[in-house]
Copies of this chain bind each other. A is one copy, B any other.
Amino acid sequence: MDDEIVANLKSLSIDMINKAGSGHPGVALSAAPILYTVYANHMHINPKDPEWLGRDRFVLSAGHASSLLYSNLYMLDYLTLEDLKKFRQIGSLTPGHPEYGVTKGVDISTGPLGSGLASSVGMALALKHLKTKINIIDNYVYVLCGDGDLMEGVSYEASSLAGTLKLDNLIILYDSNNISLDGSTSMTFDEDVRERFDAMGFYTTIVHNGHSTGEIDKAIRRAKKSGLPSLIEVKTTIGAGSLLEGTNEVHGKPLTEKDIVQLKRKLKVKDEAFWTNDEAIKKYRDKVMTRSNKKYEEWQVQFNEYMNRKDIKNFLDRKIELNITENPFNEIVAEATRDSASKILNFLSDQSDLFFGGSADLASSTKTYLNGKGDFSKDNYSGSNIRFGVREHAMGAILNGIATVGYFPFGSTFFAFSDYLKPAMRMSALMNLPVTYIFTHDSIYVGEDGPTHQPIEQLSNVRSIPNMTVYRPADFKETLGTFITLTSLKKPNAVILTRQKVNQLKGTNPREIINGAYIVKKEKETANAIFIASGSEVALAINIASELEKDGYDIRVVSMPSVELFLKKPKNYIYNILKPGVKTFFIEASLGDELRRFVSNDKYLITLNSFGTSGKYEDVLESMNFSQEQIKQRIEKLL
């Protein structure tokens, strides 16, 4: 049966690519025995309950092998033959790269290389954490990756952390075919991959004959006994069986008709598009389901007792109880919003186990450490503080993996370094995962550390990601409102916080954050102007407004902690806050391209448009024409 199924997986993949007119035959032909062995002999899954918490996970980090994954998901009853025929068509369940939330059985979206592997570390980590609460969790994360995945820095970062954390539930299968898109990897990737993974604390092994499902199976069994995260190098031939096998020519475009005919002959499958070996498929399915059903039924029985536990119920519902009937916080005076967030995060993590995360070696600066919750380490998987190391990109990818397991994870770093993990933020947004990115040191107020550490365009950049909600609270109350809102919305989001102290403002209101923007200082009679601001510039705007009032102006100040939430409001709300026809300024220590929609002319944007500079922050503001006095004068000329 093994060979028959492998052959049929290959032929179906080739048929799909051929019908779509695009796709990647090379990896489908080289990696079919690997993927098959994992599913046939190891995976515990249930197509009728594809989200089953107790399932094993499979990550196709080489996302361009999607046709292979879909063929397999067809055989295991997640997809129909019709779905396979719609490969890479609009609205199908079989898009060009695997998409989480679109296709049942796809545990995470992949495509950008390195991303899947890095996220799989998050899954493995989350399963270890969850096992400390639900002891019956006993699952593996299997990853299929290629040379390209391993060349990407993000996969190194995540693997190094997996080794440090001894995540023995992570098994990486490396389709080692020595060919990438542009040719032989000897030109670009001459390292000893297994030795590198040895150095990172992995168990490593090799399968010399990548056609042999038996050898692959034995390697996986060795890996499981190792007590370490594992890398199994499987030597394969790209495009095995094609006339172009072993060359980069077979990587990324459909095979010719002639090639398909001879390939199918070699594979001993019928020369008929989308032919299926129904007898073998039935055997395969029975084998997987017999094993899986046994575990599934045991799980159901054992899990019942957990279902009575409130924390578990909340976990399964991704429910966070942010019960703030009485204010649990002491009177707050002037403090940085990073400090406000620190208190709130700690409060939240007391209320809900879903909050789980860490920092890219900046917890002492971003203040996101959860006190008394312990460090997640190889000796303590119940710890709730993940020390990601100086690995921003992997942090983001790992958060995505953690979120797919059911958590509401967070990660923090300096805002300037959001650039490093933007690719992961985009994946959070694409998958609509409830990941919270916490970025502190949010503008030129960073001061002495200079332009490399001073965000300018970053706020525009994170706001530009579709489906990402960005919050930039003005003080403690708004920071509290931010977390109340984001835990209720459960979407991908970013929270932008100050390093420097800000005053607590009279007009701010936690309950208004959900509206995106609201009036924090009403005009006395008829507004001559409206100042919109976010974060630390709200206090600045209020101060300037108050000063200008002495000169007879009447000014409304609007706090806009979230542009995205405000833009979702109905028109009448928007026009109530922003009065069309009234001169409107936006004051924000950022680039502000996305704010232009709120002002009638570029000159009313009081923003930044060049890199910062190193110096005391008051001097930096002055040098960039952004001190309170300078802004007041700039505005006064325009009133």
Contact = CB atoms under 8 A, between A and B. Distances in A.
Interface of A: 20-23, 63, 88-92, 95-97, 99, 109-114, 147-149, 151-157, 160-161, 163-164, 180-183, 185, 187-196, 198-201, 248, 252, 359, 361-365, 375, 377, 387-391, 393-394, 416-417, 419-420, 422-423, 426-427, 429-430, 447-453, 456-457, 460-461, 464-467, 591, 593-594, 596-597, 602, 609-611, 613-616, 619-620, 623
Contacts of A114: 390
A191 B201 contact: yes
Contacts of A616: 88-90
B200 A188 contact: no
Given A419-B426, A426-B419, A593-B594, A189 B89 contact: no
* Chain multiplicity (copies): 2
Contacts of A419: 422-423, 426
A96 B448 contact: yes
B180 A191 contact: no
A181 to B, nearest CB: 5
Nearest to A465: B457
Contacts of A597: 596, 602
A400 to B, nearest CB: 13
Contacts of A611: 429-430, 466-467
A283 to B, nearest CB: 32
Contacts of A91: 613, 615, 623
A201 B192 CA distance: 8
A388 B96 CA distance: 25
Nearest to A468: B457
B615 A188 contact: no
Given A361-B148, A456-B466, A461-B461, A96 B614 contact: yes
A91 B467 CA distance: 40
Given A163-B190, A419-B426, 8 more contacts: A110-B452, A114-B390, A151-B361, A152-B390, A152-B391, A181-B365, A187-B377, A194-B199
A88 B615 contact: yes
A90 to B, nearest CB: 3
Contacts of A20: 448
Given A89-B619, A151-B389, A182 B362 contact: yes
A614 B200 contact: no
Contacts of A464: 457, 460-461, 464, 591, 593
Given A460-B464, A610-B466, A112 B452 contact: yes
A593 B605 CA distance: 14
A268 to B, nearest CB: 30
A36 to B, nearest CB: 25
B195 A620 contact: no
A96 B450 CA distance: 6
A388 to B, nearest CB: 7
Contacts of A193: 199
Contact of A182 (B113, B198, B361): B361
A203 to B, nearest CB: 14
B420 A423 contact: yes
A321 to B, nearest CB: 30
A369 to B, nearest CB: 8
